[in-house]
């Protein structure tokens, strides 16, 4: 029983770390895409109007 709970705790720890890493990467990608979108729209405004 002790080994099973230890294996379960290790599995849950890795699942938690993987979930946190995936969420962190998603936030980074989302932030970069928002910055790219704002920058491209801003540059196109200046290029169009001269």
Question: How does pLDDT run across 30-49, given as a tens digit for each residue?
Answer: 999 999 998 888 777 777 76
- Better-scored residue on pLDDT, 29 or 9: 29
> How far, in Å, CA of 15 to CA of 21, rounded?
10
Name the one residue in this structure whose structure tokens are 């599995």. Answer: 11
26: containing domain:
1-50
pLDDT given for residue 49 in this prediction: 60
Q: How many domains does the chain have?
A: 1
Is the pTM higher than 0.95? The answer reads no
Q: List b or e across 2-32, with b for residues whose CB sees 16 or more CB atoms inside 10 angstroms.
A: eeeeeeeeeeeeeeeeeeeeeeeeeeeeeee
Name the one residue in this structure whose structure tokens are 């230890």. Answer: 6
């Amino acid at each position: 029983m002790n080994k099973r709970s230890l294996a379960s705790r290790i599995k849950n720890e890795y699942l938690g770390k993987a979930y946190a890493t995936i969420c962190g990467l998603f936030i980074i990608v989302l932030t970069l895409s928002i910055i790219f979108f704002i920058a491209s729209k801003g540059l196109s405004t200046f290029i169009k109007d001269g």
